[in-house]
Structure 1
Amino acid sequence: MQFQDRFRGRTAIVTGGASGIGLDVATRLVTEGARVSLWDMDAAALDKARTASGAADAQILDIADDAQVARAMEGSLAALGKLDVMVCSAGITGPNTTVRDYPVEAWRRVIDVNLNGLFLCNRAAVPAMEKSGYGRIVNIASVAGKEGNPNASAYSASKAAVIGLTKSLGKELAKSQIRVNCVTPAAVRTAIFDQMTEEHIAFMLSKIPAGRFGQIAEVTALVCWLASEECSFSTGAVFDVSGGRATY
Structure 2
Amino acid sequence: MDLWNFLLRIEEIVAKRVYGNFPIDWDEDFVTRDLLRDLRRIRKTALHVDYFEMEQWYPLPFCWPIWNRLSETILNIEWSAYKQTGTPERFFGDIAILVLTQYPDGDRVEGVGFLEAKKRNHQNAKFDAIRVSQLRRIVKHAPRASMLLYDYEPVHYCHPWRPWKCLPQTFAAAVPMDLALVTRKRDASLYKFSKPFSTQLLLYLLGFELERTQRALAMAKGHEDRFGAPRYLLVLRVGVNSDVPPEDLVAYSRDRFTPIEEVT
TM-score between the two structures when normalised by the length of structure 1: 0.30
- Larger-gyration structure (1/2): 2
Q: Relative CO higher for 1 or 2, CA cutoff 8 Å, sep ≥ 6? A: 2
More helix by share: 1
TM-score between the two structures when normalised by the length of structure 2: 0.28
More strand by share: 2
